[in-house]
Structure 1
Amino acid sequence: MLPQIALPDLFSELVALLVVSAAAGAAAIRLRQPVLVGFIIAGIIVGPSGLNWVRAADQIHVMAEMGLTLLLFVVGLKLDPRLIRSMGSVALTAGGWQVVLTALASLGLSLVLGIASPSALYAALALTLSSTIIIIKLLSDKREMDSLHGRITLGILIVQDVVVILAMIGLSASVGGASDHPMMQVLGLLARGAALLAGIALMVLIVFPRVLPLLARSTELLVLAGIVWALLLAALAGHLGFSIEVGAFLAGVALASTEYRESMAARLISVRDFLLLFFFVELGSSVDLKVLGAQVLPAIPLSLFVLVGKPLLVMLIMRVMGYRARTGFMTGLAVSQISEFSLILVAMGAKAGHITADAVGMVTVVALITISISSYLILYSHELYECLSPHLHLFERKTAHREDGGVPMELHGPPVDVVVFGLGRYGTGIVDHLEARGRTVLGVDFDPQVVKEWNARGRLAVYGDGEDPEFATMLPLSSARWVVSSVRDPRVNRYIVHALRHAGFSGNIAVAADQRDTIEFGDDDSSRIVLAPFEDAAKQAVDLLMEAEERIAREAMQKLIHAISEHYIICGFGRMGQQICKDLARQGVAHVVVEDNPEQLPRLREKAIPHVEGKATDDETLLAAGIQRAKGLIAVAASDQENVFIVLTARGLNPDLFIVARSILEENEVKLRRAGADRVISPYILGGRRIAAVITRRGVMDFLDLVLHGDEVETDIAHLVVPQGSPRANTALAELELWRQCGVTVLATQDPGCPLVANPSPDTLLREGTELIAMGTPAQLHRAQRILSGAL
Structure 2
Amino acid sequence: MLNPHREIVCPVCKVIFSQARRGRFSVLALWLAGAFAMGVLVKQVGMPPLVGFLAAGFAFGAAGIEPTPMLLELSEAGVLLLLFAVGLKLRFRNLVRFEVWGTALLHLAVMALVAGASLHYVGGLDWPIALILGTALGFSSTVLAAKMLESRRELRAFHGRVSIGILIVQDVVAVALLAATSGHSPSPYALLVLLLPLARPLLARVLDLVGHDELLVLFGAVLALAAGGWAFETLGLGNELGALVLGTLLSDHRRAQELSKAIWGLKEFLLIGFFLSIGLSGPPTTEVLVLAGLATLLMPVKAALFFWLLLRVGLRARSSFIASLSLASYSEFGLIVASNATNAGLLDSQWLVFAALIVALSFAISAPLNRIAHKIFERYEHLLTRFESERRHPDDSPISLGDADIVIMGMGRTGTGAYIYLHEHGKHVVGIDNDPAKIERHIADGRRVIYGDLEDPNFNELLNTENISAILLAVPDLEAKLFACRQLRKRGFEGLISATYLYAEERDKMAEAGCDVTHSFFAEAGTGFAISTLDRLTT
TM-score band by shorter chain is 0.7 to 0.9
Pick from 82, 86, 97 the counterpart of residue 71 of structure 1: 82
Instruction: Assess, with a 3 A threshold, how the Cα gap between structure 1 residues 463 and 102 changes in structure 2: closer, same or farther.
Output: farther
Alpha-carbon distance in structure 1 between the residues aligned to 2:202 and 2:444: 34
What amino acid is the match of 1:550? Answer: L
Q: In the alignment, does 2:151 pair up with 1:157?
A: no
Alpha-carbon distance in structure 2 between the residues aligned to 1:218 and 1:456: 27
- Comparing 463-472 and 387-396, the one that deviates more: 463-472
TM-score norm. by structure 2 comes to: 0.84
Alpha-carbon distance in structure 2 between the residues aligned to 1:523 and 1:148: 29
Pick from 66, 72, 89 the counterpart of residue 97 of structure 2: 89
Q: In the alignment, does 2:273 pair up with 1:281?
A: no
Q: Report if aligned partners of 2:278, 2:356 keep a CA contact under 8 Å in 1.
A: no
SS of 1:392's equivalent in the other structure is helix
Deviations 1:244-299 (A, max 9, x none): 112222333445556665554433222222222211111112241xx244333333
Deviations 1:205-241 (A, max 9, x none): 55874x6676x37944454344334322211211221
Deviations 1:349-390 (A, max 9, x none): 334343445544443332121111111122222322332322
Instruction: Report the counterpart of residue 5 of structure 2 in structure 1.
Output: none
Instruction: Assess, with a 3 A threshold, how the Cα gap between structure 1 residues 243 and 538 changes in structure 2: closer, same or farther.
Output: same
How far is 1:433 from its partner? Answer: 2.9
What amino acid is the match of 1:419? Answer: V
Q: In the alignment, does 2:307 pair up with 1:297?
A: no
For 1:24-35, list aligned pairs within 5 A: 24-35=38-49
How far is 1:538 from its partner? Answer: 2.8
Instruction: Assess, with a 3 A threshold, how the Cα gap between structure 1 residues 468 and 371 changes in structure 2: closer, same or farther.
Output: same
What amino acid is the match of 1:230? Answer: A
Pick from 385, 403, 408 the counterpart of residue 420 of structure 1: 408
Instruction: Report the counterpart of residue 227 of structure 1 in structure 2.
Output: 221
For 1:214-613, list aligned pairs within 5 A: 216=210, 219-233=213-227, 234-256=229-251, 261=256, 264-288=259-283, 291-306=284-299, 308-403=300-395, 409=399, 414=403, 416-447=404-435, 463-520=451-508, 528-547=516-535, 550=537
Instruction: Assess, with a 3 A threshold, how the Cα gap between structure 1 residues 364 and 231 changes in structure 2: closer, same or farther.
Output: closer
What amino acid is the match of 1:489? Answer: D
- Residues matched between the structures, number: 522
What amino acid is the match of 1:61? Answer: L
Instruction: Assess, with a 3 A threshold, how the Cα gap between structure 1 residues 331 and 449 changes in structure 2: closer, same or farther.
Output: farther
Q: Report if aligned partners of 1:36, 1:280 keep a CA contact under 8 Å in 2.
A: yes
What amino acid is the match of 2:422? Answer: L
Alpha-carbon distance in structure 2 between the residues aligned to 1:126 and 1:296: 19
How far is 1:403 from its partner? Answer: 0.8
Alpha-carbon distance in structure 1 between the residues aligned to 2:513 and 2:327: 42
Q: In the alignment, does 2:70 pair up with 1:59?
A: yes
What amino acid is the match of 1:31? Answer: V
Q: In the alignment, does 2:183 pair up with 1:169?
A: no
Instruction: Assess, with a 3 A threshold, how the Cα gap between structure 1 residues 442 and 172 changes in structure 2: closer, same or farther.
Output: same
SS of 1:136's equivalent in the other structure is helix
Q: In the alignment, does 2:143 pair up with 1:133?
A: yes
CA RMSD between the two structures: 3.5
Instruction: Report the counterpart of residue 562 of structure 1 in structure 2.
Output: none
Deviations 1:278-336 (A, max 9, x none): 11111112241xx2443333333431322x22222222222222222222222211111
How far is 1:128 from its partner? Answer: 0.7
Greater RCO, CA 8 A, separation 6+: 2
Instruction: Assess, with a 3 A threshold, how the Cα gap between structure 1 residues 458 and 328 changes in structure 2: closer, same or farther.
Output: farther
SS of 1:483's equivalent in the other structure is strand
Q: Report if aligned partners of 2:92, 2:248 keep a CA contact under 8 Å in 1.
A: no
Alpha-carbon distance in structure 2 between the residues aligned to 1:38 and 1:352: 33
Identity of aligned residues (%): 28
Alpha-carbon distance in structure 2 between the residues aligned to 1:252 and 1:420: 29
Q: Report if aligned partners of 2:318, 2:458 keep a CA contact under 8 Å in 1.
A: no
Instruction: Assess, with a 3 A threshold, how the Cα gap between structure 1 residues 468 and 136 changes in structure 2: closer, same or farther.
Output: closer
Instruction: Assess, with a 3 A threshold, how the Cα gap between structure 1 residues 483 and 226 changes in structure 2: closer, same or farther.
Output: closer
Alpha-carbon distance in structure 2 between the residues aligned to 1:260 and 1:522: 29
Instruction: Report the counterpart of residue 193 of structure 2 in structure 1.
Output: 196
SS of 1:546's equivalent in the other structure is helix
How far is 1:338 from its partner? Answer: 0.8
Deviations 1:519-572 (A, max 9, x none): 54687799722233443233222233235x827x9xxxxxxxxxxxxxxxxxxx
Structure 1 unaligned regions, length at least 5? 174-179, 554-792
Alpha-carbon distance in structure 1 between the residues aligned to 2:453 and 2:430: 14
How far is 1:79 from its partner? Answer: 3.3
Q: Report if aligned partners of 1:417, 1:482 keep a CA contact under 8 Å in 2.
A: yes
TM-score norm. by structure 1 comes to: 0.59
Deviations 1:595-617 (A, max 9, x none): xxxxxxxxxxxxxxxxxxxxxxx
Pick from 3, 12, 15 the counterpart of residue 29 of structure 2: 15
How far is 1:399 from its partner? Answer: 4.6
Instruction: Assess, with a 3 A threshold, how the Cα gap between structure 1 residues 433 and 293 changes in structure 2: closer, same or farther.
Output: farther
How far is 1:401 from its partner? Answer: 2.9
Instruction: Assess, with a 3 A threshold, how the Cα gap between structure 1 residues 488 and 227 changes in structure 2: closer, same or farther.
Output: closer
Instruction: Report the counterpart of residue 147 of structure 1 in structure 2.
Output: 157
Q: Report if aligned partners of 1:296, 1:362 keep a CA contact under 8 Å in 2.
A: yes
Instruction: Assess, with a 3 A threshold, how the Cα gap between structure 1 residues 298 and 512 changes in structure 2: closer, same or farther.
Output: same
Deviations 1:396-455 (A, max 9, x none): 344543215xx86466x64x4233333444334333333333333444444567668878
Q: Report if aligned partners of 1:88, 1:155 keep a CA contact under 8 Å in 2.
A: no
Pick from 56, 59, 80 the counterpart of residue 45 of structure 1: 59
For 1:721-760, list aligned pairs within 5 A: none
What amino acid is the match of 1:121? Answer: L
Q: Report if aligned partners of 1:382, 1:467 keep a CA contact under 8 Å in 2.
A: no
Q: Report if aligned partners of 2:411, 2:432 keep a CA contact under 8 Å in 1.
A: yes
Instruction: Assess, with a 3 A threshold, how the Cα gap between structure 1 residues 539 and 79 changes in structure 2: closer, same or farther.
Output: same
| Structure with the larger strand share | 1
SS of 2:263's equivalent in the other structure is helix
Q: Report if aligned partners of 2:335, 2:355 keep a CA contact under 8 Å in 1.
A: yes
| Structure with the larger helix share | 2
Instruction: Report the counterpart of residue 4 of structure 2 in structure 1.
Output: none
How far is 1:464 from its partner? Answer: 4.0
Instruction: Assess, with a 3 A threshold, how the Cα gap between structure 1 residues 397 and 467 changes in structure 2: closer, same or farther.
Output: farther
Instruction: Assess, with a 3 A threshold, how the Cα gap between structure 1 residues 318 and 309 changes in structure 2: closer, same or farther.
Output: same
Alpha-carbon distance in structure 2 between the residues aligned to 1:252 and 1:127: 26
Instruction: Assess, with a 3 A threshold, how the Cα gap between structure 1 residues 89 and 512 changes in structure 2: closer, same or farther.
Output: same
Q: Report if aligned partners of 1:472, 1:503 keep a CA contact under 8 Å in 2.
A: yes
Alpha-carbon distance in structure 2 between the residues aligned to 1:543 and 1:287: 67
Instruction: Assess, with a 3 A threshold, how the Cα gap between structure 1 residues 493 and 265 changes in structure 2: closer, same or farther.
Output: closer
Alpha-carbon distance in structure 2 between the residues aligned to 1:142 and 1:527: 22
Q: Report if aligned partners of 1:487, 1:513 keep a CA contact under 8 Å in 2.
A: no
What amino acid is the match of 2:103? Answer: A
Q: Report if aligned partners of 1:95, 1:156 keep a CA contact under 8 Å in 2.
A: yes
Instruction: Assess, with a 3 A threshold, how the Cα gap between structure 1 residues 86 and 66 changes in structure 2: closer, same or farther.
Output: closer
